Amino acid sequence: MSKPRSISICRQRRFCSDTINNGRPVTTSTIMMDALPKLKKLYTRKAKPFHMSTMKERNNDVPVVFPLFSPKAQEHVWKTVPINHDRQAAILVPLLEYQGEPSLLFTKRSSSLPTHASEVSFPGGHFDNTVDNSLEDTAIREAQEELLGDYDWEQIQLIGRASPLPSINGTPVMPILAVLTQPIVSSIDTFPGNVEEVDEVFVVSLSKLLEVETIEYSQRFRTKIPVFPLDHHKIWGLTAVVTRPILHQLLKPAFGLS
């Protein structure tokens, strides 16, 4: 299938319509498209090489990532659990427009899962070398499997990687920041969710995350970490640790939020 042509930015409307090569109309968010150049510039300016043998590429290149921690904190995080050097995982950090506001998408994991049941997370899973050429492939594939729905996954913009951190089982997890360029009107209608993996798919505006953010002591990390308590959910643990630096250092300035 041929690749979609570049999408124009319609500055006079909040949404703009264009078409891809197969003639199917595509609606893009001007909120996302207008912030995209600044977001990419911020990412490029802040990204640094991440030196860790388990996260090298197939050609042994060192990945370039947006640092979630200071070097000292990064060293501490990797000492909290024994590292599983045989596996890698990736999560997708999906930025999108929802009801007119820049927002992040989360899932509430199924209550029947053997690990992390009912916890809030970003979509993601383990690298599969039979189908994935990269951790970006892993993040997108797992997001599609978890979220389901008819979203056009050709219409996303990958911003880049954030520094990996270990799961509670010691698996290195690479966050992949991506912009979903189509605006979402209803998270349930767009992403009904795979009932075997998630109980709920929900979206939180960046302004709401900034409003509710607080800190709590974490036994796992043996230090205070960010927490985002919402009316019906609590974003904590690895998900909150990934969210906070991306929110404050990339998304807040890119969208001009206070």
How is the chain classified by DSSP, letter by letter?
-PPPPPPP--TTSSEEEEE-TT--EEEEEHHHHHHHHHHHHHHHHH-EE---GGG--TT-PPPEEE-SS-HHHHHHHTTSS---TT--EEEEEEEEEETTEEEEEEEEE-TTSSSSTT-EE-SEEE--TTT-SSHHHHHHHHHHHHH-SS--TTSEEEEEEE--EE-TTS-EEEEEEEEEEEEES-HHHH----TTTEEEEEEEEHHHHHHH-EEEEETTTTEEEEEEE-SS-EE-HHHHHHHHHHIIIIIHHHHT--
User: What gap in Å lies between CA 27 and CA 9, rounded to an integer?
Assistant: 11
In the predicted structure, residue 134 carries a pLDDT above the cut 80 = yes
Strands 198-205 and 120-121: unpaired
pLDDT score for 239: 96
In the predicted structure, residue 7 carries a pLDDT above the cut 50 = no
User: What gap in Å lies between CA 6 and CA 8, rounded to an integer?
Assistant: 7
In the predicted structure, residue 235 carries a pLDDT above the cut 90 = yes
Q: What is the pLDDT of residues 180-198, one digit of tens each?
A: 998 887 666 788 888 888 8
Provide the β-strand partners of residue 225: 216
pLDDT score for 117: 59
| pLDDT tier for residue 60 given thresholds of 50, 70 and 90 | low
In the predicted structure, residue 122 carries a pLDDT above the cut 80 = yes
pLDDT score for 228: 97
Q: Write down the pTM of the prediction.
A: 0.86
pLDDT score for 6: 27
User: What type of residue sits at position 203?
Assistant: V
Give φ, ψ of 228 to 5 degrees: -125, 90
Burial class of residue 61 in the structure, from the number of CB atoms within 10 Å of its CB (0-12 exposed, 13-18 middle, 19+ buried): exposed
Q: So where are the chain's domains?
A: 28-255
Q: What is the pLDDT of residues 41-53, one digit of tens each?
A: 999 999 998 876 5
What is the b/e burial string over 105-138, where b = at least 16 CB atoms within 10 angstroms of the residue's CB? bbbbbbeeeeebeebbbbbbbebeeeebeebbeb
- As a CATH number, domain 28-255 is 3.90.79.10
Q: What is the pLDDT of residues 69-101, one digit of tens each?
A: 888 888 888 888 899 989 999 999 999 999 899
| pLDDT tier for residue 64 given thresholds of 50, 70 and 90 | confident
